[in-house]
Homo-oligomer: A and B are copies of this chain.
Amino acid sequence: MSDQGVIPRSEDYAAWYNEVIRRAQLVDYGPVKGTMVIRPYGFALWEHIKEGLDRRFKETGHENAYFPMFIPYSFIQKEAEHVEGFSPELALVTHAGGKELEEPLVVRPTSETIINHMYSKWIQSYRDLPVLINQWVNVVRWELRTRPFLRTSEFLWQEGHTAHATQEEAQEETIRMLNVYADFAINDAAIPVVPGRKSNIEKFAGAVASYTIEAMMGDGKALQSGTSHNLGQNFSKAFDTKFLTTEGGHEYVWQTSWGVSTRMVGGVIMAHGDDKGLILPPRLAPHQAVIVPIWKSDEQKGSVLEMVEKIERSLKDTGLRVKSDTSDQENPGWKFNEYEMRGVPLRIEIGPKDVEKDAVVFARRDRPGKEGKEFGIPSNEAGMRASEWLEDIQKSLLERATQFRDENTTDVENVETFREVIAASRWARVWWSGTDDQERKIKEETGATIRCFPIDQPGGKDSCFYTGEEANKVALFAKAY
């Protein structure tokens, strides 16, 4: 291993992850245990995730707002399941402005409570509904075992909070946002997530039903990558959020909440990387293309750099995010390795011979060696061709990840096969009629949990792999992050 390389992914997946996020300068550890610093390269990835989601939220009629981070402790206690679920993870502000506070303040772990407090003031009548609000904020959950992006005591996310006049509308919204998440994951992140419903014991503390998009990582484990909750009237009853109905009565509003966090960055890294480092999907990559010049003499340098500038301009004019590395502190070989490790989807090489031919060399990150390389691409076609290549890379990453997911998902009919499949870090698709306790027992014995009941069900009935009894739904079991 050179001083540039990373521990190969195929050798030690966990070590590869830790190494690649550090070497690619995505993230660093903060001074307080469990916190992370998101460095510019990692934050640019998050910015593109934000843009892709925010655009979709606005297209589906949502507006952004900001609610305070400090929540009176008494608010958290109003919804029974909510307080039970979040109490162990709370961070408390007890002193401020040099004095002890009368009531401690909770640093938001999520904002259902404070938002309902405000909604109960804003919502009076059916004419005020629906309320469709989202916020992009930091939240704090004090976790014992943390891992950059995947689980940190402070993380960034968006949380949507909506209020509706009917149960049906709330359920429609819950599924609408689940689909928005799936659409983003599939088309922008190139991750073929499985949308589905969470089991009773895995649902959000305070929800009637929780939905999830589950992604398969490169080691076969599942990553819950976004959730959408139907909250029913649980919070509106706790906070007395009522509205005047069209019939003149008063009813509690029906609500949803949904969130995607910086965890998605971890998902992108783990779904696509390879032994050499990151592979970033073009739609999210901070740099979609990197231009690496090659020269020996000073005379060559001048004409090569001229060409670099021309190609950079042509790619930028095409709307692409491109970086030229013209520094002479490192040689081209070092740069090739560096940008491969950083996962830049497309590399453009320009040397003296290319200048002579008025052409450039393209190399795609997702196909190593000669297979992914093309020489003699005319310089005046570089912008257009780069766009086409990036589209193709985006498509190929999704295809590859889909194939990987399908090859590593097994239909399982009995407990023995189930154990084998889970031990091999694959996903098991089973007919399921078990109880909450049986689900817990499986977790204890195998480490696997129900990731979801996929929205896409085969229909009909079959016998449960575990109880042998008749089951009317299929579940996905897997080990998860």
Q: Residues of A with Cβ closer than 8 Å to B?
A: 28, 30-32, 35-40, 43-44, 46-47, 63-72, 75, 87-98, 104-105, 107, 114, 117-118, 121-122, 127, 133, 137-138, 140, 142-144, 153-154, 156, 329
Given A43-B63, A133-B40, A144-B97, answer yes or no on A35-B89 (Cβ-Cβ < 8 Å).
Answer: no
Q: Which residue of B lies closest to A67 (CB)?
A: B37
Report chain B residues within 8 Å CB of A39.
Answer: 65
Report chain B residues within 8 Å CB of A140.
Answer: 69-70, 96
Do residues A127 and B96 form an inter-chain contact, with CB atoms below 8 A?
no
Do residues A37 and B72 form an inter-chain contact, with CB atoms below 8 A?
no
Q: Which residue of B lies closest to A133 (CB)?
A: B40
Report chain B residues within 8 Å CB of A98.
Answer: 87-88, 90
9 extra A-B contacts, CB within 8 A, seeds A31-B71, A68-B154 = A30-B118, A31-B68, A43-B64, A43-B66, A44-B63, A91-B93, A91-B105, A92-B96, A96-B153
Do residues B40 and A63 form an inter-chain contact, with CB atoms below 8 A?
yes
Which 8 A-B pairs rank lowest in CB-CB distance, beginning with the nearest? A97-B142, A40-B63, A35-B68, A30-B68, A38-B66, A91-B96, A92-B95, A96-B142
Do residues B127 and A32 form an inter-chain contact, with CB atoms below 8 A?
no
The answer for the CA separation of A30 and B104 in the assembled complex, in Å, is: 16
Do residues A36 and B89 form an inter-chain contact, with CB atoms below 8 A?
no
Do residues A65 and B89 form an inter-chain contact, with CB atoms below 8 A?
no
Do residues A47 and B64 form an inter-chain contact, with CB atoms below 8 A?
yes
Q: Can you report 26 residue pairs joining A to B where beta carbons are below 8 Å apart?
A: A30-B68, A31-B75, A32-B72, A32-B105, A35-B70, A37-B66, A38-B65, A38-B66, A40-B133, A44-B63, A66-B156, A68-B154, A69-B138, A69-B154, A70-B91, A87-B98, A88-B98, A89-B97, A90-B96, A91-B97, A92-B95, A93-B94, A93-B107, A94-B95, A96-B142, A107-B107
Most buried by B among A71, A142, A143: A142
Report chain B residues within 8 Å CB of A75.
Answer: 31
Report chain B residues within 8 Å CB of A71.
Answer: 31-32
A23 to chain B, nearest CB (A): 13
Do residues A95 and B105 form an inter-chain contact, with CB atoms below 8 A?
no
Q: Which residue of B lies closest to A64 (CB)?
A: B43
Partner of A31, one of B35, B72, B89, B156: B72
Partner of A70, one of B32, B46, B97, B117: B32
A69 to chain B, nearest CB (A): 6
Q: Which residue of B lies closest to A117 (CB)?
A: B31
Q: Which residue of B lies closest to A105 (CB)?
A: B32
Do residues A94 and B94 form an inter-chain contact, with CB atoms below 8 A?
yes
A454 to chain B, nearest CB (A): 34
Q: Which residue of B lies closest to A286 (CB)?
A: B63
The answer for the CA separation of A98 and B144 in the assembled complex, in Å, is: 11
Partner of A121, one of B28, B65, B97: B28
A110 to chain B, nearest CB (A): 16
Report chain B residues within 8 Å CB of A107.
Answer: 93, 107
Q: Which residue of B lies closest to A103 (CB)?
A: B32
